[in-house]
Amino acid sequence: MVYRSSIGAFVFGAALMMALGGAQAADSPKYPDWSGQWTRFPVRLPTQPSHDQTKPWGLGQQAPLTPEYQKVLEDSIADQAIGGLGNFPTTLGRAAGMPHMMMGFGPLEMVVTPETTYILIGWYDHYRRIFTDGRDWPAEIEPTFAGYSIGKWIDTDGDGVYDTLEVETRGFKGPRAYDEAGLPLHFDNQSIFIERFYRDKADANILHDEITTIDHALTRPWTVDKRYVRSPNQYPDWPEYYVTEGNGQIAIGKENYFLSGDGLLMPAKKNQAPPDLRYFKQAGK
């Protein structure tokens, strides 16, 4: 009889805990539906897409750069004007990393789970993980182009549904740049990014990414509001893009050359010297 009573007490306790757990789960806010295909908000500018969508790229961004890194940008633009890559080695096929990976050149997909929010990217970079499982920063972070992101969901209006994702990202390697003009981040790779993702209150088909950059190449934190528009197509096309496919840029040593249509190496700059061919047998003259 005592044995049966113990079993009964255990079953009752387990049922009570399940009921309490269910009640707590019911009281917890639900996760938002950010599904669909999100692309960069269209802004008419006389240049390629930029970090601050409201301003032209490069010098037009008016980024609060230190004098040293303002010169890095100017030198990058000057080098590109004569055929060089400037401060944007991603052209060679490298990952772009943060914050360029959030440019929205190609479509983005937000996959929300309680533990992790994934951002799938179809361009230079391919995915990003934002951990929302309550973890703390690891003692050591293996540097990556995308960095290590920890997020927190917030129900700002108390309606029982999370509507804002706050994210901090750190732990980088480089080289990285904001845009193709070579707008630079500090070469020490100690960048920190603070983001707030949320849908526009007036138009639920617009997703905001307010991103603040804290970086030693800046004189102050720099905040921009990136906006993405959700495709009305229920079954959108998801294009595949790899910067290495059909890329004619070839780096040899510290020089960049170009592969012509007939498969021959050609200079990228006027009067550029050929690469060092010491390991090739030279044809007799």
Q: Is residue 2 scored above 80 in pLDDT?
A: no
Residues in CB range of 239: below 8 A, 6 or more apart:
106, 107, 122
Among candidates 148, 147, 104, which has minimal Cα distance to 123? 104
Q: Do residues 161 and 191 touch, judged by C-beta distance below 8 A?
A: no
- Could you tell me how many residues make up the chain? 285
Q: How high is the mean pLDDT of the chain?
A: 88
pLDDT-derived band at 285, boundaries 50, 70, 90: low
Amino acid 6: pLDDT? 43
Rounded to an integer, the average pLDDT of 22-37 is 77
Task: Please report, for residues 42, 95, 174, 175, 176, the alpha-carbon distance to residue 143 in angstroms, rounded to integers and kept in the order given.
Answer: 33, 13, 9, 12, 13
* pLDDT category of residue 49 using cuts at 50, 70 and 90: confident
Lowest mean pLDDT, pick from 20-24, 56-60, 88-92: 20-24
Every domain of the chain and the residues it spans = 38-230, 248-285
Lowest-pLDDT range of 31-35, 80-84, 183-187, 228-232 = 80-84
Q: Which pTM was predicted?
A: 0.84
Check residues 4 and 185 and name the one with the higher pLDDT.
185
Question: Got the DSSP string for 148-166?
Answer: EEEEEEE-TT-SSB--EEE
Which pLDDT does position 212 carry in this prediction? 98
- Per-residue model confidence as pLDDT tens digits over 123-168: 889 899 999 999 999 999 999 999 999 999 999 999 999 999 999 9
Using CA atoms, how far apart are residues 29 and 158, in angstroms rounded to an integer? 9
Q: Is 253 left (phi over 0), alpha (psi -120 to 50) or beta?
A: left
